[in-house]
Structure 1
Amino acid sequence: MDIHRQLNDVRQRVIDSGVLFKELHQKRFGSILSTPVVVEPIPLLQLVIPSTFHSQLQTYRLSPRSHELLSKALDDTINAYNQQFDVSWRKLAESAISPRLQTVLPNVIKQFQIGLQSHFENQGLPSILEKVKLFAETYPPPPPPPRQSSIPAYEA
Structure 2
Amino acid sequence: MIIAGNDEAKRSKIWRVVTLVSSVLIILIAVYLLTRMFTTNPVVGNWESEDATIALKIEKNDTIQVDITDIAENTDAAVEMNYSVDMKSKIITITKDEEQIDKAVEKADGAYTKEDLENVLDDLDSSFSYSIDGNQLTLTEREYGEQFTFIRK
TM-score (normalizing by structure 1): 0.26
- Larger-Rg structure: 1
Higher helix fraction (1 or 2): 1
The one of the two structures with greater contact order (alpha-carbon pairs below 8 A, sep at least 6) is 1
TM-score (normalizing by structure 2): 0.26
